[in-house]
Chains A and B, each alone.
Chain A
Amino acid sequence: MIAVFDICILIFLVAIAIIALSVKDLLASAMILGIYSFLMCLLWAEMGAVDVAFTEAAVGAGVSTVIMIATVYQTSRKSSD
C-alpha cells in the first residue's frame, strides 16, 4: 500500500518538475514549485522524517513560494527562454 503511495508521489514529482521548467509564466512556475515542495513534504512524512517534513512544509511550500512570487512581481513575469 505504502509503496503504491510512494510511486504515485514520485511520478507526480517528476511530472511537476518538468511542468515547472516548461511553463513560460514565472508566477505559475513559482506556484507549481510550491506543489513540488508539498509533495516532497508528503514523501518525508511517509518515510518517518517528520522534522524534515515540517521544515519542508513551512519553508519550502510556505515562505519560499511567497518570496518567489514577491520577486516575480517586482521583476518580470515572462521567462526569456
Chain B
Amino acid sequence: MAPMKIVALITVIITGGLLLYATGDFPAWGDPLSPANNSALSRHYIEQSRVETAVPNLVTAVLADYRGYDTMFETVVVFVAGLAILAVLGQGTSRERAAIQRSAERYQERDMINIMTARLIVPVLQLFSLYVLAHGHYSPGGGFQGGVMFGASFILIALAGGLPEALSRLSIPGALLLAGLGVLLYGGTGLVCMMLGQNFLDYHILHRLLPATDAVMARYHAMLIVEIGVAFTVTAIMFIIYAALSSRGRMTGGL
C-alpha cells in the first residue's frame, strides 16, 4: 500500500470512530422527549401547520412554506448544476457533431422490445409523476419527486430509442427554458408577495390575487405553484444532465 493510502485509511478510521461515538448521544428513535420534538418551533409546526396552511402533509407544509427559502435555493442549486455540466462538457463543433451523427445512424440498431416496452411505460410514468406532484399536499411526494420521475421518463425514451429520439421531444434549448421558467415561477411567487407589501415568500397575501381564497387557502395554493416550479426545473435538469453525460456533451449518439 502506498503511504498516502495508509494516511487516508487512518483518517477515515478516526473520523468514523468519532461519528460512531457521537451517535451514542442521539435520542432513541421515535423518542417523544427528544429535543427535536420539544422545541417551540417544532411544536408550532406539528400543531399549527394544518390550521395555518390547510395542508395535511406536514413535510410539504414545512418544505414549501415555512422553509420556502431553503427549497427555493435547492432548486437554484439543481439549476446551476445542470448549467455547469453543460458548460464543462460543451457542445462540440457542428462538423464533429455531424460526423458522430452519421456513425451513430450507421451503428445504432434499436431493439424493438425496448422501444415497445418504453412506449407502454412512459405514459404511465408521466401520468403518475403528475399525480405525485399534484397530490404532494396529501401524500408523500411533491415537486422534486414528481420532477425526477418526469425527467426519468425522457431518460427512458433516450435509453430505448436513442438520444435524438428524446431530444426531438424535449430539445436542450427547450429544457433550459423550462428549467429557467421553474426558478422564475418560484422566485416570482416570492416577488409578487413582496409587491403586495409582505415579506418574500409570505404567501398568505396572495389571496388578493387568487380568486375565491382566504389567507389560509392562499398558502395552500401558492405551495402548489412553487412545487410546479420545482418540478419544471428538476425535470429539465435531470434530462439535461443525462443527455450531456451520455454523449460527452455532443448531444448525438448517446448510450
Chain A 53-72, CB-CB to B under 8 Å as 1, else 0, gives 11100110011001101110
Q: How large is the interface on B (under 10, 10 to 19, 20 to 34, 35 or more residues)?
A: 20 to 34
Complex interface bits, A31-58 against B, C-beta within 8 A gives 1, otherwise 0? 0000000000000000110110111001
Residues of B within 8 A of A5 (CB): none
- Chain B nearest CB, measured from A57 CB (Å): 9
Q: What's the least CB distance linking A46 to chain B, in Å?
A: 10
Instruction: Mark contacts of B135-147 with chain A using CB atoms, 8 A cut-off: 1 yes-contact digit, 0 otherwise.
Output: 0000011101100
Are B148 and A63 touching (Cβ within 8 A)?
Answer: yes
Question: Is A80 close to B, CB under 8 A?
Answer: no
Q: A50 contacts which chain B residues (CB < 8 A)?
A: 140
B83 cross-chain contacts in A, Cβ below 8 A: none
Instruction: Among A58, A67, A74, point to the contact of B145 (Cβ < 8 A).
Output: A58
A58 to B255, Cβ gap below 8 A?
A: no
Question: Do residues A62 and B141 form an inter-chain contact, with CB atoms below 8 A?
Answer: no
Q: B152 to chain A: closest CB distance in Å? A: 6
Contact A51 B141 (CB under 8 A): yes
**A70 touching B141, Cβ below 8 Å:** no
Residues of B136-190 whose CB lies within 8 A of A: 140-142, 144-145, 148-149, 151-152, 155, 159
When chains A and B are docked, how far (Å) is the Cα of A62 from the Cα of B248? 21
A12 contacts the other chain (CB 8 A): no
Q: A63 to B159, alpha carbons, bound, how many Å?
A: 12
User: Could you tell me which residues of chain B, from 2 to 36, have a CB within 8 Å of some CB in chain A?
Assistant: 29-30
Q: Are B140 and A66 within 8 A (Cβ)? A: no
Question: Nearest CB to that of B241 among chain A residues?
Answer: A67
Asked whether, in the complex, the Cβ of A47 is within 8 Å of the Cβ of B29, the reply is yes
Tell me the bound Cα distance from A46 to B238 in angstroms: 28
Interface size on A, residues (CB 8 A): 18
**B242: A residues at CB distance < 8 A:** 63, 66-67, 70
Let me know if B245 is at the binding interface, CB within 8 A: yes
B59 close to A (CB within 8 Å): yes
Residue B246 lies at the interface, judged by CB distance under 8 Å to chain A: yes
Known contacts A47-B29, A51-B59; decide if A73 and B152 are in contact (CB<8 Å): no
Kindly provide the distance from the CB of A78 to the nearest chain B CB, expressed in whole angstroms: 18
Contact A70 B246 (CB under 8 A): yes
Minimum C-beta distance from A54 to chain B (A): 5
Determine if B29 and A62 form an interchain contact, defined as CB atoms under 8 angstroms apart: no
Q: Are A74 and B152 in contact (CB under 8 A)?
A: no
A67 to B247: give the CA distance in the assembly, Å. Answer: 11
Question: Are B148 and A51 touching (Cβ within 8 A)?
Answer: no
Q: What residues on A are CB-neighbors of B141 within 8 Å?
A: 51, 54
Given A50-B140, A66-B155, A70-B246, is A58 in contact with B148 using a C-beta cutoff of 8 Å? yes
Q: Which residues of B contact A51 (CB under 8 A)?
A: 59, 140-142, 145
A-B CB contact pairs (8 Å), 16 listed: A50-B140, A51-B59, A51-B145, A54-B140, A54-B145, A55-B144, A58-B152, A63-B151, A63-B152, A66-B242, A69-B255, A70-B245, A70-B254, A74-B245, A74-B247, A74-B248
Apart from A51-B141, A67-B245, A73-B246, what are 16 other A-B pairs with CB-CB below 8 Å?
A51-B59, A51-B142, A54-B145, A55-B144, A58-B145, A58-B149, A59-B144, A63-B148, A63-B152, A63-B242, A66-B152, A66-B155, A67-B242, A70-B242, A74-B245, A74-B247
